[in-house]
């Protein structure tokens, strides 16, 4: 579930990577992560969630449920 207004869904764990899948997650949307990888650092946090279909979302943009 997204805590902030929106979180971008990307093809790689990078702020410069193209958007992928649904492109943006909004509050109430779900993103099923199967792992955590290191990627671009945002506000000192470089952890990104990885989905089984190959999409990435920065971990600071989501709330774990």
Would you say residue 39 lies in a domain? yes
Count how many domains the chain has. Answer: 1
Would you say residue 21 lies in a domain? yes
Range of the domain at 52: 6-61
Exposed / middle / buried, residue 20 (Cβ in 10 Å: 0-12, 13-18, 19+): middle
Would you say residue 24 lies in a domain? yes
Would you say residue 44 lies in a domain? yes
Would you say residue 1 lies in a domain? no
Q: What predicted TM-score, i.e. pTM, was given to this entire model? A: 0.84
Q: What is the pLDDT along the chain (65 residues), one digit of tens a residue?
A: 434 478 999 999 999 999 998 899 988 888 899 999 999 999 999 999 999 999 999 998 787 77
């Amino acid at each position: 579930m997204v805590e902030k207004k929106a979180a971008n869904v990307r093809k790689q764990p990078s702020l410069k990577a193209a958007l992928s899948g649904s492109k943006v997650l909004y509050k109430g949307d779900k993103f099923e992560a199967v792992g955590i990888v290191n990627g671009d650092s945002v506000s000192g946090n470089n952890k990104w969630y990885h989905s089984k279909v190959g999409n990435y979302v920065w971990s600071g943009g989501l709330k774990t449920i």
